[in-house]
């Protein structure tokens, strides 16, 4: 059994005032869905806003997440943020392996596994992002790439959420078709063995209020990791409703 989840990755966007307004609007819109325990909603603001957004979300079922963390427990890592600091800020989840960090900042599969491990030790749920580039898809290497990405994490995945985020779809307006997403989600779930039934697998990549319903209608798509469209309270809130109403036969209702 697993949770339907909608995650909003704000990336390096918004002023503090804009962030607090967006959080309040999503909180208010989400109340109806989350109260019915239909969808788990998570916001991932930039680090400097975590504390203030946490206050806005207090008492609401909307959960707080961070966009990354450092793999060490503490120490001389100037500019970095530890898992325990995130927990102190009220975070319950953390993104690891986002393509902007894999490809933009050179994070390796091993480093991503170390970050996920540290997150779990601290009591955070890692949302592990995986996905192939356009060139890898064109050369039929999608499955090989996904296997390489999940291999060092395999023993932990039962305690994570997975996000399939094809690199070619992130921020490009080029969304995977529901059938493409469904096929990859089924492949990933098969790799999880007996844990496959309990690990949420989200789709991410140019999701918006227009294309989300067809993706959410696929049984193996348990929700979404949303970038650009999560910056608009009205669109993101609409997507919460779409996910709640989606008919994926595997989905069910729970709030952690
Ligand atoms: C993301 O950043 O994880 C993402 C999917 O971005 P976008 O929705 O803007 O493609």
- The pLDDT tens digits of the residues spanning 132-142 come to 999 999 999 99
Q: Write the pLDDT tens digit of every residue in 22-59.
A: 999 999 998 876 556 678 999 999 999 999 999 999 99
Measured CA to CA, the distance from residue 215 to residue 145 in angstroms comes to 22
Q: Among 228, 232, 235, 239, which residue has the most ligand 1 atoms within 8 Å of its CB, making it the best to mutate?
A: 228
Q: Among 206, 221, 224, 229, which residue has the most ligand 1 atoms within 8 Å of its CB, making it the best to mutate?
A: 206
Measured CA to CA, the distance from residue 30 to residue 128 in angstroms comes to 24
Q: How many A from CA of 227 to the centre of ligand 1?
A: 3
Measured CA to CA, the distance from residue 127 to residue 201 in angstroms comes to 9
Does pLDDT of 254 surpass 50?
no
Reduce the secondary structure of the chain to three states and give it as a string: CCECEEEEECCCCCCHHHHHHHHHHHHHHHHHHHHCCCCEEEEECCHHHHHHHHHHHCCCCCEEEECCCCCCCCCCCCCCCCHHHHHHCCCCEEEECCHHHHCCCCCCHHHHHHHHHHHHHCCCEEEEEECCCHHHHHCCCHHHHHHHHHHHHHHHHHHCEEEECCHHHCCCCCCCCHHHHHHHHHHHHHHCHHHCCCCCEEEECCCCCCCHHHHHCCCCCCEEEECHHHHCHHHHHHHHHHHHHCCCCCCECCCC
Q: Write the pLDDT tens digit of every residue in 204-232.
A: 999 999 999 999 999 899 999 999 999 99
What's the predicted TM-score (pTM) here?
A: 0.94
Q: How many CB atoms lie under 10 A from the CB of residue 142?
A: 20
What does the pLDDT read at residue 135?
A: 97
Q: How many A from CA of 98 to the centre of ligand 1?
A: 9
Measured CA to CA, the distance from residue 231 to residue 190 in angstroms comes to 33
User: Which residue among the candidates 70, 98, 136, 182 is catalytic per the annotation?
Assistant: 98
Q: ∠ CA(197), CA(157), CA(12), 5° rounding?
A: 115
Active site residue 103: no
Question: Ligand 1 pocket by C-beta < 6 Å: which residues?
Answer: 9, 165, 170-171, 204-207, 225-229
Q: How many A from CA of 158 to the centre of ligand 1?
A: 24
Tell me the mean pLDDT in the region 106-122.
98
Q: How many A from CA of 75 to the centre of ligand 1?
A: 31
Active site residue 98: yes
Nearest CA to ligand 1 atom 3: 227
């Amino acid at each position: 059994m697993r949770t339907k989840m909608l995650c909003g990755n704000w990336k390096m966007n918004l002023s503090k005032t804009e962030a607090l307004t967006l959080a309040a609007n999503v909180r208010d819109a989400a109340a109806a869905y989350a109260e019915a325990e239909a969808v788990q909603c998570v916001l991932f603001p930039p680090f400097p806003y975590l504390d203030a957004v946490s206050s806005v979300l207090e008492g609401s079922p909307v959960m707080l997440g961070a966009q990354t963390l450092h793999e060490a427990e503490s120490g001389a890592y100037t500019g970095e943020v530890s898992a325990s600091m995130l927990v102190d800020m009220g975070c319950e989840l953390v993104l690891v392996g986002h393509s902007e960090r894999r490809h933009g900042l050179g994070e390796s599969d091993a480093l991503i596994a170390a970050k996920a491990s540290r997150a779990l030790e601290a009591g955070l749920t890692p949302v592990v992002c995986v996905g192939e580039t356009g060139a890898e898809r064109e050369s039929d290497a999608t499955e090989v790439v996904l296997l390489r990405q999940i291999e060092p994490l395999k023993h932990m995945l039962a305690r994570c959420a997975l996000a399939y985020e094809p690199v070619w779809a992130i921020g490009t307006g080029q969304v995977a078709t529901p059938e493409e997403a469904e096929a990859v989600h089924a492949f990933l779930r098969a790799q999880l063995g007996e844990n496959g039934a309990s690990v949420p697998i989200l789709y991410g990549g140019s999701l918006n209020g227009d294309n989300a319903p067809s993706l959410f209608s696929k049984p193996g798509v348990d929700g979404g990791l949303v970038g650009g469209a999560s910056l608009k309270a009205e669109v993101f809130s609409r997507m919460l409703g779409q996910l709640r109403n989606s008919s994926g036969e595997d989905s069910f209702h729970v709030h952690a």
